[in-house]
Amino acid sequence: MKNLKGSKMFRICIILLALGFMVSGCATTAQVKQLEDQINAASLKADNAMSAAAAAQKTATDCCATDDKANLAAKQAADRAAAAADRAENAAAKAEAVFMKHMKK
């Protein structure tokens, strides 16, 4: 009878300990919301940068072929916009990785 009570108490302690570990590692709703907002903002920046890059590239191709300075400036703007889009996509990927890391906890 004494061993049975001891084993029940041991099982209860193990269950409570396991529940404590499960609850303590979870991200809060506010943290998840904040990460989602960061991902959405980074995605919006990436979309805007891609649109700017496409517009700049279209401007570069539509530029007058005789005006080398304007053509070069438009190409440089397209390159800068494409680089900004890449940076924004990298930021979005990092934010998503952080989000997924918090979701695994």
CB 71 within 8 A of CB 65: yes
**pLDDT tens by residue, the chain, 105 residues:** 455 455 777 778 778 777 766 666 666 677 778 888 888 888 888 888 888 888 888 877 775 555 777 778 888 988 988 888 888 888 888 888 887 877 776
Q: Is 37 exposed, middle or buried (0-12, 13-18, 19+ CB in 10 A)?
A: exposed
Extents of the domains making up the chain: 28-104
* pTM score above 0.85: no
Q: Which two tokens stand for residue 18?
A: 């396991």
Of 33, 29, 54, 48, which Cα lies nearest the Cα of 88? 48
Those residues with Cβ within 8 angstroms of residue 38's Cβ, 6 or more apart along the chain or in another chain? 95, 98, 99
Residue 66: the pLDDT is 55
